[in-house]
Amino acid sequence: MFFEQVVRPETGCASYVLGCEESGQCAVIDPLWDPEPFASSARRHGTSIRYVIDTHTHADHVSGARRLVRMTGAELLLHEQTDLAYPARRVKDGDAFPLGT
């Protein structure tokens, strides 16, 4: 398993990449606008991005979630109470989504 933090220095906003080299899958949490740091992380670890997860509506930066989903074919996950009109799998507290071992 691996875990990486991606920070935008100008704002201090943080995103995360976590995954499993054995399964070849990873997830990106709260991606910033530029998808390249996340795609690079996935490549570096020999994984593909399976999930893109926005944990909340971002008032402090523009989310890159939809850009990353279009670029990778990953599944977008949003909390069931998120008030956004675009398509995504709605999840609730306690839901699980496997990444590997």
Closest by alpha carbon to 92, among 100, 82, 83, 84? Answer: 82
Sheet holding 13-20, edge to edge: 2-8, 13-20, 25-29, 48-54, 75-79, 89-91
Write down the pLDDT at residue 59: 58
Per-residue pLDDT of the chain (101 residues; tens, 9 = 90+): 999 999 988 888 899 999 999 999 999 999 998 999 999 999 999 999 999 999 876 555 578 899 999 999 999 999 887 777 777 889 899 999 888 87
Q: Could you tell me the pTM of the whole model?
A: 0.89
Write down the pLDDT at residue 49: 98
CATH of 2-91, one of 3.40.50.620, 3.60.15.10, 3.30.428.10, 3.90.105.10: 3.60.15.10
**Cβ–Cβ under 8 Å, residues 77 and 53:** yes
Which residues, in sequence order, are CB contacts of 60 under 8 Å at separation 6+?
Answer: 11, 13
